Amino acid sequence: MKIDRFGLGDWWPRPEEAAVGGLDHLPADQWPMLAAKWLAAGFDSPLLRQLAELQVRRRDTGPSAEDGLVSWAAPRGVAIVGPSGTAGVPAQFRVALQALDLMPEVLRSIGFDPAPADEAFVARCQSALDVVQHDLDVTGYGQYRMRARFGGWPASVYPTMPDGSYWGGSEGMSREDKGSWLLYRAADLVSATLKEIPEIEWPVCAVHGGHPDSIWDGEEPVDLIDKVASW
């Protein structure tokens, strides 16, 4: 793959692609280089120039400077929240955090609002969570009202508890998730959230008292039950 003078390869998202999820495939510390590409392509705004100026210089990467730019990638699905101070934070992480914060306004400043696509993504995930919420309600856990939480890189959605807490230790719902797979992901994430935060095992089969997917009840094997939902 050919690397150009901006540090990007042959493929890079145009602004119209970035506004509908194209940035999910490009690490956030490379967004300043992408901004430079957009400037060269004729797009311009003060915010776009500000983003382009965030590029990490070779001298900023510390001991690994001889290797050039260090790509930053958050653990997949974990929402990134900027630290109150950036002292001691590696340069590429500072760049990534600032780029994540700037990019939505940058896109709006050049005529491409990412909000509609993001809102549609969140609404699709919330619809899947609403289906799972029905099962929470009928199994006695209706107090845990699950709401869709959007954020991070790549953009992901997680079920969030009423107090705002969520479990981001696994892969969240992504833009690529559709149909039955999205419903499965929503249910699996709700189950993980309940297990990790209030420490509740859910779902549990009413017949043999174990997880519906399990063929074991304690140390004894059990028959899987037909027509029982197994999230």
Residue 96: half-sphere exposure toward Cβ, Cα within 13 Å: 23
Closest CA to 110 of 182, 19, 44: 44
pLDDT at residue 52, rounded to an integer: 95
Residue 83 CA to residue 99 CA, distance in Å, equals: 14
pTM metric for this prediction: 0.72
d(CA 124, CA 183) in angstroms, rounded, equals 10
pLDDT at 169 (0 to 100)? 87
In 3-state terms, what secondary structure has residue 152? coil
Residues 6+ apart with CB under 8 A from 101: 82
**pLDDT of amino acid 213:** 54
What is the residue-level pLDDT of the chain in tens, covering all 231 positions? 344 444 455 678 999 999 999 999 899 999 999 999 999 999 999 999 999 999 754 334 444 333 333 344 443 333 334 444 555 667 778 889 999 999 999 999 999 999 999 999 999 999 999 999 999 998 889 999 999 999 888 999 999 999 999 998 888 999 999 999 999 999 999 999 999 999 998 887 655 555 555 555 555 555 554 444 444
Q: What are the counts of helices (DSSP H) followed by strands (DSSP E) for the chain? A: 6, 4
The pair of three-digit structure tokens given for residue 77, joined into one six-digit string: 């699905």
Instruction: Report the Cα–Cα distance between both ends of the chain, in Å, rounded.
Output: 42
Q: What angle do CA 103, 164, 95 make, to 5 degrees?
A: 25
CA distances for 230 relative to 51, 96, 163, angstroms:
46, 39, 27
| 200 contact partners, CB below 8 Å, separation of at least 6 | 141, 194
CA 9 to chain CA centroid, Å, is 24
**Per-residue pLDDT at 19:** 96
Instruction: Report CA 82 to chain centroid distance, whole Å.
Output: 15
Q: Which DSSP helix (H) or strand (E) runs through 147?
A: strand 147-151
Cα gap 86→156, rounded to integer Å: 24
Which helix (H) or strand (E) segment is 8 a member of?
none
Strands (E), the chain: 147-151, 156-160, 216-217, 220-221
Separation of alpha carbons 226 and 47, rounded Å: 57
